[in-house]
Structure 1
């Protein structure tokens, strides 16, 4: 799994339409989301924190999805 899997799960949980909606929800730019999704830049601590605040998921779970451990 990867950031793509994480972002797909967040989009489904928050009932968003696409990465542009995710970018707005995470107070980020769509280009940044795209680069993270395509593993061109890592998902940083600030994005992990924003996902945690938006979804309520534990940061450990978010990191596990990024690392490919499911959750």
Structure 2
């Protein structure tokens, strides 16, 4: 059964979650990598653990 146009189950996903990132990866370096593979995103969120001074090994990217 094919999804109907405008249904809640449309396959037009634009957000991804990246997991198992290196703990010392800086947001700026992630942005450089995303730009190198074509860019096209409007939002990137990489949570940071301030106590440990590193990211929490995941990031969310919204593509347009």
- Name which one, 1 or 2, has greater alpha-carbon Rg: 2
Give the structure with the larger helix fraction.
Answer: 1
